[in-house]
Homo-oligomer: A and B are copies of this chain.
Amino acid sequence: MEGVDHLAHERQKAQFDVEEMKVVWAGSRHALELSDRISRLVASDPAFRKDNRTVLSRKELFKNTLRKAAYAWKRIIELRLTEEEAARLRFYVDEPAFTDLHWGMFVPAIKGQGTDEQQQKWLTLAYKMQIIGCYAQTELGHGSNVQGLETTATFDPKADEFIINSPTLTSSKWWPGGLGKIATHGVIYARLITDGQDHGVHGFIVQLRSLEDHMPLPGITIGDIGMKFGNGAYNTMDNGVLRFDNVRIPRDQMLMRVSQVTREGKYVMSNVPRQLVYGTMVYVRQTIVVDASCALSRAVTIATRYSAVRRQFGSQDGGPETQVIDYKTQQNRLFPLLASAYAFRFVGEWLKWLYTDVTQRLQANDFSTLPEAHACTAGLKSLTTSITADAIEECRKLCGGHGYLCSSGLPELIAVYVPACTYEGDNVVLLLQVARYLMKAVSQLPSGKKPVGTTAYMGRVEYLMQCRSDVQRAEDWLKPNVVLQAFEARAARMSVACAQKLAQFSNSEEGFAELSPILVEASLAHCQLIVVSKFIEKLQQDIPGKGVKEQLEALCSVYALHLLHKHSGDFLSTGTITAKQASLANDQLLSLYSKVRPNAVALVDAFNYTDHYLGSILGRYDGNVYPKLYEEAWKDPLNEYVVPDGFHEYISPMLKQQLRNARL
Q: A506 near B: Cβ within 8 Å?
A: no
Does A655 contact B569, Cβ atoms closer than 8 Å? no
In contact, A400 and B422 (Cβ under 8 angstroms): yes
Besides A62-B645, A229-B414, A397-B422, 16 more A-B contacts (Cβ < 8 Å) are A55-B58, A59-B638, A66-B646, A66-B649, A70-B654, A70-B659, A130-B655, A141-B311, A142-B312, A223-B636, A226-B406, A227-B405, A229-B406, A332-B516, A390-B390, A569-B571
Inter-chain contacts of A400 with B (CB < 8 A): 143-144, 422, 426
Residues in B with CB closer than 8 Å to A575 are 579
| Interface contact B224-A636, CB-CB below 8 Å | yes
The complex places the Cα of A175 from the Cα of B630 at a distance, in Å, of: 12
Complex CA distance for A182 and B389, rounded to whole angstroms: 36
Tell me the chain A residues, 411-470 only, with Cβ under 8 Å from chain B: 411, 414-415, 418-419, 421-423, 426-428, 432
Contact pattern, A 190-230, Cβ under 8 Å of B = 1, otherwise 0: 00000000000000000000010111100000011111111
In the bound complex, CA of A427 to CA of B400 (Å)? 10
- A312–B69 Cα gap in the complex (Å)? 36
Is A117 an interface residue when CB atoms closer than 8 A count as contact? no
Interface assignment of A266: CB less than 8 Å from any CB of chain B: no
Q: Which of A261-281 touch B at CB < 8 Å?
A: none
Contact B565 A659 (CB under 8 A): no
Are the CB atoms of A636 and B327 closer together than 8 Å? Answer: no
Complex Cα distance A337/B330, Å?
Answer: 27
A180 to chain B, nearest CB (A): 7
Q: Cβ of B73 and Cβ of A406 under 8 Å apart? A: no
A317 contacts chain B at the CB level, 8 A cutoff: no
User: CB < 8 Å: which of B71, B227, B397, B517 contacts A421?
Assistant: B397
CB of A411 within 8 A of CB of B638, answer: no
Q: Say if the beta carbon of A124 comes within 8 Å of chain B.
A: no
The answer on a CB contact under 8 Å between B77 and A224 is no
Q: Which residues of B contact A515 (CB under 8 A)?
A: 328
The 5 closest A-B pairs by CB, nearest first: A568-B569, A229-B411, A70-B650, A63-B646, A66-B646
Is A542's CB within 8 Å of the partner chain B? no
Question: Are A626 and B181 within 8 A (Cβ)?
Answer: no
Contacts of A138 in B (CB 8 A): 401
**Which residues of B sit under 8 angstroms from A642, Cβ to Cβ?**
215-216
Are B148 and A312 closer than 8 Å at their CB atoms? yes
Main SS class of interface, A? helix
A423 pairs with B406, CB closer than 8 A: no
User: Which residue numbers of A lie inside 8 Å of B, CB to CB?
Assistant: 47, 54-55, 57-59, 62-63, 66-67, 69-71, 73-74, 77-78, 128-132, 138, 140-145, 148, 169-170, 172, 175, 180-182, 184, 211, 213-216, 223-231, 234-235, 238, 241, 311-313, 315, 321, 327-330, 332-333, 389-390, 393, 396-397, 400-401, 403-407, 411, 414-415, 418-419, 421-423, 426-428, 432, 513-518, 520, 565-575, 579, 582-583, 586, 590, 626-627, 629-630, 632-640, 642-647, 649-655, 657, 659-660, 662, 664
In the complex, which residues of chain B have a beta carbon less than 8 angstroms from the beta carbon of A432?
329
**Chain B contacts for A629, CB-based, 8 A:** 140
B647 and A214 contacting across the interface, CB-CB below 8 Å: yes
A630 in complex: contacting residue of B172, B231, B329, B571, CB < 8 Å: B172
Question: Complex: how many Å from CA A63 to CA B514?
Answer: 52
- Provide the residues of chain B in CB contact with A650, threshold 8 Å: 63, 66-67, 69-70
- Chain B's nearest CB lies how many Å from the CB of A62? 6
Contacts of A62 in B (CB 8 A): 638, 644-646
Contact B227 A54 (CB under 8 A): yes
A422 near B401 with CB under 8 A, answer yes
Whether the pair A329, B516 counts as a contact (CB closer than 8 A) is: yes
Is the CB–CB distance between A406 and B227 below 8 Å?
A: yes
Q: How far is the CA of A46 from the CA of B332 in the complex (A)?
A: 49
Q: Return the chain B residue nearest A313 by Cβ.
A: B145
A223, B567: Cα distance in complex, Å: 47
Selected A-B contacts with CB under 8 Å, 15 pairs:
A58-B636, A63-B646, A73-B654, A73-B659, A145-B312, A169-B626, A215-B642, A225-B636, A226-B635, A229-B411, A229-B414, A234-B404, A328-B514, A397-B421, A565-B569
Given the complex, which residues of B lie within 8 Å of A640, measured CB to CB?
59
Beyond A313-B148, A638-B59, A650-B66, whether A128 also contacts B657 by CB under 8 A is yes
Complex partner residue of A312 from B67, B73, B143, B390, CB under 8 angstroms? B143
Residue in contact with A638 in the complex, picked from B58, B313, B419, B627, CB distance below 8 Å? B58
A469 to chain B, nearest CB (A): 14
Given A59-B645, A214-B643, A428-B329: A223 and B572 within 8 A (CB)?
Answer: no
**Measured CA separation A27–B118 after assembly (Å):** 67
Instruction: Find out whether the CB atom of A644 lies under 8 angstroms from the CB atom of B129.
Output: no
Chain B positions within 8 Å of A224 at CB level: 633, 636, 638-639
- Contact A129:B655 (CB < 8 A) given known A426-B400, A569-B582, A664-B70: yes
Which residues from B are CB-within-8-Å of A170? Answer: 626
What B residues does A329 contact at CB under 8 A?
Answer: 428, 432, 516-517, 520
- For the complex formed, measure the closest distance between the CB of A59 and the CB atoms of chain B, giving whole angstroms: 5
A292 to chain B, nearest CB (A): 16
